[in-house]
Amino acid sequence: MSILEVKDIYFTYPDGDHRKTILNHVSASFDCGKFYTILGSSGCGKTTFLSLISALDKAESGDIYYNGINIKDIGFEKYRRNHVGIVFQNYNLITYMTALENVRIAMGITENDVGGDISSTALELLEKVGIDRTKADRRVTKLSGGEQQRVAIARALSTNADIILADEPTGNLDKKTGRGIVDIFKNLAHDLNKCVIVVTHSEEVARESDEILRLYSHTQSFNFE
């Protein structure tokens, strides 16, 4: 059974007097241990798709199943709390906190078992993504873009969620730093058996993934090919 199954998702958004169809009965399934990229041109619905599978938004019809259970039944908040970690293009860290505190915040919210000593686990995770102890105690605003994105990845990992979702995670980074981030995602999938789904418009990032899902335009909407 796939860890995440998307069945017949339909989504529209208001466009003047009408509603424009953006996802027209989209279906897909995702497994643990794999690094997926979702490719598509700007405005094709990649981010909408990500917002639906991260339960930040609700589809008009269709269902999303986590481990065979409809996420509506799990509850959107609980699903986000325990089963997905989200990495954003602009990092979305709490600016008045340190890197370590940003990671610990997520560990304090999830109901998953995050290990005995929260601080040392958080430090280990930060180290794993390339943030050493000195940087861990710095306010995130004092870190570079690449470092902030690593903190965001450590935060997504800290809840022990099976699914890591990322929206253009390399979009604000230079090529070299971006490559480093992509390597981390590959390792998460292959070494930690996570289901990593990255939304990107970068072919370069997509080439590094195990599976590429392209969103194409079909008349008024988009779908997986």
Minimum Å distance from CB 97 to other proteins?
A: 6
Is the backbone of residue 188 left (phi > 0), alpha (psi -120 to 50) or beta? alpha
Q: What distance lies between CA 188 and its chain's CA centroid? A: 12
Instruction: For other proteins, give the closer residue by CB, 162 or 167.
Output: 167
Instruction: For other proteins, give the closer residue by CB, 72 or 78.
Output: 78
Minimum Å distance from CB 63 to other proteins?
A: 19
Minimum Å distance from CB 123 to other proteins?
A: 14
Query: Six-digit token pair at 9?
Result: 């998702």
Q: Enumerate binding residues for other proteins (CB under 8 A).
A: 47, 50-51, 54, 56-57, 77-82, 86, 88, 92-97, 101, 104-110, 118, 155, 159, 167
Residue from 12, 26, 104 nearest 62 by CA? 26
Instruction: For other proteins, give the closer residue by CB, 82 or 221.
Output: 82
Instruction: For other proteins, give the closer residue by CB, 26 or 86.
Output: 86
CB 113 within 8 A of CB 163: no
Count the helix, strand and coil residues of the chain and give each as a percent rounded to the nearest 5.
40, 30, 30
Minimum Å distance from CB 188 to other proteins?
A: 18
